[in-house]
Structure 1
Amino acid sequence: MKNVVFSIAALIIIGLIAGLFFYHMPSKHAEVQEPNVQETPAKQPLYANEKIDYSLQNDEVKITFDKGENWLPIPIEKDALFNGEYNGSKEELIENSYILTKKRIAFLYYEQDNIKMLSSIDQGESWQETLISEHYPPIRFRKTAFLNEHFGYVIISGDRTMSQEMSNVFLTLDGGKTWNETNNTNVTRLVADGGFTNEQTGFLSFGILNPEQPELHVTQDGGANWSEAEIQIPEKYRKIFVIAEAPFKEGNQLAMLVNQGPSGDYLGGKVKGKFLSKDEGKTWEFDREVQPDE
């Protein structure tokens, strides 16, 4: 009788051990069915407007269209992009001296007394070097932009002596193949900003050294004639909002920000005045204060 009990107990113990052994064994069927998350990466979002960036490392100018995965070398010497009276930090390109879009890449530069532009309209497959002006003195202010595939502008200043300098505006109507200079404003104050809102309407803002009020000149005939715009500044903001920035389109009218200049201290010096024009820039009325984070 005792032998029978021991035999049954032994069988139960062996069964328990076998059950535990098979319980901990991995199931091949489970391995086949369970997805491997490391081998199935999540889909990356699609970007309609991927950022185009540039690099100046190792004294080489390069751009990328795919967030840095591939870099395209630009056929230009880095130093050429900083020539002139104002050289910038050379750690980054001078603001407004270049264009980086999928439809147009352009670099405005000064080389051997000539103002030139290197551009591409096929994402760097081919390049065009264009002479904008020759025998020009060392440049200070420089700005270029295209409003469409045909019309673009270049604003340059140079030959600075104390608070005086020459300034010139050049326009293209054929996508940058040829450039023509507009008539001069005959203003010799230092250029602060400028730009065009269409092929006929353009602006030049003057005065960057201790200005007391903004001075904005406007053309409505493609640069054939320039006249000073009337900016109606409320008494409260006189000698506060003193430098006009380039106007821009806002609905059916033009808008413009006027900043406080380098010495402004009103509410920290960063608040700007917003002005509106209903006559294509001839006259401007105050709209409101604009905070730095707007």
Structure 2
Amino acid sequence: MKDDIIGYSLQNDQLHITYDRGNNWTLVPVEKDLLFEGDYNGSKSELIDQSYILTEDLVAFLYSRESDWSKKQILLTYSVDQGETWRDTVVSEQFPSLRFRKVDFINELFGYVIISGDRTMSQEYSTVFLTHDGGETWRETDHSGVTRLISDGGFVDENTGFLSYGTLNPTEPDLWVTQDGGVSWSKSDVQIPEEYIPIFVSAEVPVMEGEELVMLVNQGPNGDYEGGRVKGQFVSNDNGLTWEFLREVMPDENK
């Protein structure tokens, strides 16, 4: 369980949530094993990062299960009343074995699911689904056309979203942006200063700060510059198409 008022427990092979630091627990109607289904080798004592939402207004869990076909369904089980009632929605009727998975909402109605699967060495299939009705229905966006392993992604508003690729020995940021809600994707131009070209290689999901987009670019899995934890901060004034270097961000600023 998280050390917060709101948390979860995976004890006794069941998923429970609490809204009062563990004084009372509510059973989530999802089999624990389904939450870890697919290409995942991490600990099953904690939920997969980014595969769930746990807030006062929304609790949601993304997972896959066998369908009537050879592939699997991708589902989201969620509650908007702190677990008093639950809804199940199908994000995708058919999908390969799940690897990367992420769900998030940026407001009450608009949310996104980013998933990947069918991994072969350093290649895989990845795609994005959007909802505009609070999770009741989902629509798949157009594909970026990239088959590298996805590292992260996200939306800052209903039109503007990003996908970041390259998890195995990345040599430069591979960031793609949509400005039309996933109808089309374009590769962002991340302008790395020459002295940082071999250092800042993996783009994180941008965030909106005031009137501009801000993004951190980390050193990937093998970075050793200043201990490997320093990141580069970049800004965009054209909604994510181009990015300019601003400064180094020290580890204590990444918290």
Distance 1:80 1:117 in 2: 11
Could you tell me which of 123, 146, 158 is aligned with 2:117? Answer: 158
Who is 1:75 aligned against? Answer: 29
1:137 aligns with 96
1:195-206 aligned within 5 A: 195-206=154-165
Aligned AA (1:207): G
TM-aligned CA deviation for residue 51 of structure 1: 2.8
2:12 maps to a residue whose letter is N
Which residue in 1 is equivalent to 2:13? 59
Partner letter of residue 215 of structure 1? Answer: D
Distance 1:163 1:83 in 2: 20
Alignment of 1:177-216 (within 5 A): 177-216=136-175
Alpha-carbon distance between aligned partners in 1 of 2:75 and 2:19, rounded to the nearest angstrom? 24
Mapping 1:1-294, distance limit 5 Å: 51-112=5-66, 113-294=72-253
Residue 87 of structure 1 deviates from its aligned partner by: 4.2
Structure 2 CA distance for aligned equivalents of residues 247 and 122 of structure 1: 30
Aligned length: 245
Q: Deviations over 1:24-66 (max 9, x none)?
A: xxxxxxxxxxxxxxxxxxxxxxxxxx63100001111011100
Higher strand share: 2
After TM superposition, the runs of 4+ consecutive aligned structure 1 residues lying more than 2 A away are: none
Give the letter aligned to residue 45 of structure 2. Answer: E
Q: Structure 1: any 5+ residue segments left out of the alignment?
A: 1-49
Query: Shift in Å at residue 272 of structure 1?
Result: 0.6
Correspondence for 1:3: none
C-alpha distance in 2 between matches for 1:202 and 1:88: 28
Q: TM-score of the superposition, structure 2-length normalised? A: 0.95
| Structure showing the higher helix proportion among its residues | 1
Q: Give the aligned partner of residue 69 of structure 2.
A: none
Give the TM-score normalised by the residue count of structure 1: 0.82
Q: Distance in 1 between matches of 2:142 and 2:98?
A: 19
1:293 Cα deviation after fit: 1.5
Q: 1:27 aligns to what?
A: none
The root-mean-square deviation of aligned C-alpha atoms, in Å, is 0.8
Give me the identity figure in percent.
Answer: 62
Question: Counterpart amino acid of 1:57?
Answer: Q
Deviation at 1:236, TM superposition (A): 0.9
Which structure exhibits the higher relative contact order, with contacts defined as CA atoms closer than 8 Å and separated by 6 or more residues?
A: 2
Unaligned runs of 5+ in 2: 67-71
Counterpart secondary structure, 1:268: helix
- What residue in structure 2 maps to residue 47 of structure 1? none
Report the secondary structure of 1:273's partner residue: strand
Cα deviations by residue, 1:251-283 (Å, 9 ceiling, x for unpaired):
111111111011000000011111111111011
